[in-house]
Amino acid sequence: MQHWTDKNPRNFTKSERSHVTLLTSGLPLHILHLVKQVVAMAGLKFEIMPEPNNDSLQIGREFGNRGQCNPTYFTVGNLVKHLMYLRDELHVPTEKIISDYAFVTAGGCGPCRMGMYSTEYRKALRDSGFTGFRVLLFSRSGDVQDVLMDGLKLTNKDIIRFFMAIMVGDILNTINIRRRPFEITPGSVDTIVKAAREEIDTAHWIKGLFKARKILKTIKLKKEKRPIVHIMGEFWAKTTDGEGNYHLFRFIEKEGGVVSNETVTDWLLHQIWRARWSAARTKKSKFITSTELQLKVLELMIAGIFKTMCFILGEKNKLSDHGSLAQAAGEHFDLHVDGGEDHMEVAHHIHIAKHKLADLIISVKPFTCLSSSGVSDGVQSKISELYPQVEFIAVETNGDSATNFYSRIQMAMQKVIAPSLQ
């Protein structure tokens, strides 16, 4: 009997940078476009794939294993769909696709199915005729996992620019989402925020941000009361508005609400907090270690830079204090449980309810998400009981039952629309 191993082609060396195009998707578009600029400056060829849609889901189901979670079907299917497009529509030979393209995504040994993502990509790629196509992984902490992938290694300057791109993308995305329901001319906020983003040159951040600020100031809004609907849940479903979450953000706007969104920067800050918390838990001395200190400085730097950029762009968004969030959640959720959003869903629910920051919380997650449906939602019923001042519903996405999904949200919205207008 032979032990099964998955051959994992993931070499991407510096010498390949000039001819290999890195493909990606799965983050809000404002972030991806800024990241594209940053990695181009670092000498990498980078292409943003079209957003995953229901065709991607069908292809994902055709070539994927049974029992995967929704983001896997959407994102795996989306990659296969794009490669098929290169092969069948643009007539790029399969060997050239395999040698001249690679896919970059987050991965890691998560306790949920995230740990199996790359294997799932490779299975679908094999079965659809792209054996050997490379799937390159960043771990959740942002490390490049393999020395064979030194082509992905960035200088410290590039890494700072990379984080700046995520932060500025987050702020623009938030401005877009929170202003859009109040726009006077339909479509104007999307157009203006896109124009502002295009003014930002990631080589000269400050100059670009002030130019963007000028453009953002041309947004014209009407005064209107709307219930605030906070969206939390599984990372992909809550941050990427598209067919994968039935265009949840736009649906809420159509139903009369305004979305309060969570950011990728906040998630990164949580990962840094977790690393600091783990370092404190496992240290041998009672004194603060240099690792803890460095991580704390990094947290403060990110929070400070984010606040400054928000100020320049005219947005009031604040990042979470992850120490207080952990303290609030810790009474109900074991902080050692790591995976997906960890204790963040429970923590945000408590924080929002205590400070009355929203009228309704929607926790959106892919069908059978282990971390969100299986763990967080088990605790959320208790939190709803303790903090009834905010409505809470958990909804699942599976790509098929849009009507059921929408009607549950409409029912919850009905409960909060009238009180919020008083």
Would you count residue 366 as binding ligand SF4 (CB under 6 A)? yes
- Residue 245 lies near ligand SF4 (rule: CB under 6 A): no
In this structure, are residues 148 and 104 in contact, taking their beta carbons and an 8 Å threshold?
A: no
The number of residues that bind ligand SF4 (CB under 6 A) is 12
CA dihedral of residues 137, 348, 398, 381 (deg, nearest 10)? 130
* Dist CA 254 CA 104 (whole Å): 34
Residue-by-residue DSSP string for 191-206: HHHHHHHHH--TTSHH
Q: Taking contact as CB under 6 A, which single stretch among the options 109-117, 124-132, 139-147, 187-195 is the one that binds ligand SF4? A: 109-117
Nearer to ligand SF4, 174 or 372 (CB): 372
CB-based contacts of 293: which residues, under 8 Å, 6+ apart? none
CA distances from 331 to 141, 285, 328, 347, 377 (A): 26, 26, 6, 10, 15
* Options 144-152, 202-210, 365-373, 399-407: segment touching ligand SF4 (CB under 6 A): 365-373
DSSP 287-329: SPPHHHHHHHHHHHHHHHHHHHHHHHHT-------HHHHHHHH
Residues 143-202 that bind ligand SF4 (CB under 6 A): none
Residue 129 or residue 374: which is nearer to ligand SF4 going by CB?
Answer: 374
Does residue 112 bind ligand SF4 (CB under 6 A)?
yes
**Closer to ligand SF4 at the Cβ: 94 or 145?**
145
Contact string 70-89 vs ligand SF4 (x = CB under 6 A): -x------------------
Q: Which residue number, 202 or 372, has a Cβ lying nearer to ligand SF4?
A: 372
Q: Which is nearer to ligand SF4, 245 or 372 (CB)?
A: 372
- Work out the burial of residue 82: count CB atoms within 10 Å of its CB; fewer than 13 is exposed, 13-18 middle, 19 or more buried: buried
Q: Does 369 bind ligand SF4 (CB under 6 A)?
A: yes
Nearer to ligand SF4, 170 or 234 (CB): 234
Burial code (b: 16+ CB inside 10 Å, e: under 16) for 325-334 equals bbebbeebbe
Scanning 59-67, 217-225, 348-356, 362-370 for contacts with ligand SF4 by CB under 6 A, the matching segment is: 362-370
Q: For ligand SF4, which residue of 29, 49, 69, 310 counts as binding (CB under 6 A)?
A: 69
114 binds ligand SF4 (CB under 6 A): yes
Interaction between residue 372 and ligand SF4 (CB under 6 A): yes
| Strand order from edge to edge, sheet including 45-48 | 45-48, 21-24, 101-107, 134-139
240 vs 371 by CB, closer to ligand SF4: 371
Of the listed pieces 28-36, 111-119, 167-175, 191-199, which binds ligand SF4 according to CB under 6 A?
111-119
Per CB under 6 A, which of residues 328..357 are in contact with ligand SF4? Answer: 340
Quick note: the x/- pattern for ligand SF4 over 223-242, rule CB under 6 A, is: -----------x--------
| Comparison of 176 and 371: residue with beta carbon closer to ligand SF4 | 371
Residue 142 Cα distances to 110, 154, 162, 343, angstroms = 14, 11, 11, 20
Find all residues with CB under 8 Å of 390, minimum gap 6, and list them: 349, 352, 353, 356, 358, 359, 360, 361
Give residues in contact with ligand SF4 (CB under 6 A). 69, 71, 112-114, 234, 340, 366, 369-372
